[in-house]
Amino acid sequence: MSTASTASVAVTPPVAVSDRWTRYNATVLTICILGWAFDIYEATIMQLVTPILIKEWGITPATMGTVTTISRWIGLIGTFAFPVLADLYGRKPALIWAILGYSIFTGLTGFSTGWIMLLIFSSITRIALAGENPVGMLMVTETAPTKWRATALGGLVGGYPFGYMLCSLAALVVVPLWGWRSLYFLGILPALLVLWIRIGIKESPRYERVTAQMLKDGLKKQLDILSPAREYPRETLIASLVYFFYLFTWLGWSAWMPFYLATEKQLGFQTMGSYLSIWMFCAIFAYWICGWLCDVFGRRWVIPAFAIPAGGGWDWPRTS
């Protein structure tokens, strides 16, 4: 075997096995779960400190709602831009850029002195936050065992409650000692995850194949983000609706539940943080279980079995 051939074999990441886990795809899943967890950690900070900011800055809940709404809309830029970057330059570089971006700007958000600065820094941060999600999902989808792909994706999305729980627990410790800004300064730490990505993850083998085809088809084909919808219109519509309503409820709940518990229910910051930590701890297991059940029994039956009871559960805060 020639030296060139040997080098080629050495740098090629293991191809996902259809029916079992390997050390490599487990490493990719772990790194991406942490990426998602730190992602939601950054996004959760403002939600947890909203009651504090309203008092400290003398602003209204409506103002904080405006900051949250505008920053999330601006964050959509990352949702569309980073997958394109992942196709053009690779999943690994795009993941690194996203994590570095939200880590750095989360730290800078801690220097905000008013809601306008908070809006600016939060909006920039959310571009990177929104970009990390689809890139991490791509990495897991392309490396996880085919037989257990839903389990892997369930664990990945379980990074949401894991990150929320981390932020809640950190808030219980650091906010009473050093104030709300310390939560943002801690948000710089996920940048260290980039070192593990550079060492532990190789580029996705699918990226190499996709890039070769893109070079044949030209730039117009590279940036044709609607091509999946044309090829699979029914599946794209259903998946988009399911994910939209999931995020619609999740974001609404996570954005205002801290304020509701601390202010409307008058539980205080410490009790609010404790409640959220317990709820998120339970949710982590729910994501894994849902993914595993999807692999065993199929998506068509399991997703409604989880979604319908969850929809009924939203009436609890109003009636309790």
Distance of alpha carbon 19 from alpha carbon 156, whole angstroms: 19
Count of Cβ atoms closer than 10 Å to residue 174 Cβ: 16
Helices (H) and strands (E) in the chain, counts: 16, 0
Look at the chain and count its residues: 320
Which two three-digit tokens encode residue 170?
């950190």
Q: Give the DSSP letter of residue 19.
A: S
- The pLDDT confidence band at residue 267, using thresholds 50, 70 and 90, is confident
Per-residue model confidence as pLDDT tens digits over 71-92:
989 988 998 889 888 888 888 8
- Of the listed ranges 96-110, 211-225, 270-284, the one predicted with least confidence: 211-225
Q: What is the distance, to the nearest Å, from the Cα of residue 72 to the centroid of all Cα atoms in its chain?
A: 13
Per-residue pLDDT at 302: 83
Distance of alpha carbon 271 from alpha carbon 253, whole angstroms: 17
3-state helix, strand, coil in the chain (%, to 5): 85, 0, 15
How many CA within 13 A on the CB side of residue 307? 15
Residue in this structure with the two tokens 């910051």, named with its chain if needed: 269
Per-residue pLDDT at 11: 42
Residue in this structure with the two tokens 């117009």, named with its chain if needed: 220
Residue in this structure with the two tokens 């409820």, named with its chain if needed: 249
Q: Give the DSSP letter of residue 13.
A: P
Per-residue model confidence as pLDDT tens digits over 159-189:
888 988 888 888 888 988 998 999 999 888 8
**pLDDT above 50 for 1:** no
Helix extents (H) in 12-158: 23-57, 61-89, 91-109, 115-143, 149-157
How many CA within 13 A on the CB side of residue 36? 24
Give the whole-number percent of the chain exceeding pLDDT 90. Answer: 10
Highest mean pLDDT among 3-17, 174-188, 216-230: 174-188
Specify the higher pLDDT residue, 229 or 16: 229
Per-residue pLDDT at 212: 59
Classified as helix, coil or strand, 48 is helix
Q: Tell me the average pLDDT across 117-121.
A: 93
Distance of alpha carbon 128 from alpha carbon 35, whole angstroms: 12
**pLDDT above 70 for 5:** no
- The pLDDT confidence band at residue 8, using thresholds 50, 70 and 90, is very low
Per-residue pLDDT at 269: 76
**pLDDT above 90 for 311:** no
Per-residue model confidence as pLDDT tens digits over 33-45:
988 888 888 888 8
Per-residue pLDDT at 280: 85
Cβ–Cβ < 8 Å for 149, 21: no
* pTM of structure: 0.78
- Of the listed ranges 77-91, 143-157, 199-213, 283-297, the one predicted with least confidence: 199-213
Per-residue pLDDT at 12: 46
Per-residue pLDDT at 117: 93
- Which are the contacts of 25, defined by CB distance < 8 A and separation ≥ 6? 14, 16, 17, 143, 144, 145, 152
Cβ–Cβ < 8 Å for 44, 277: no
H or E, element range at 144: none
Classified as helix, coil or strand, 21 is coil
Which two three-digit tokens encode residue 307?
């979604």
18-319 — its CATH code? Answer: 1.20.1250.20
- The pLDDT confidence band at residue 14, using thresholds 50, 70 and 90, is very low
- The pLDDT confidence band at residue 15, using thresholds 50, 70 and 90, is very low
Per-residue pLDDT at 211: 65
Cβ–Cβ < 8 Å for 158, 283: yes
Per-residue pLDDT at 238: 82
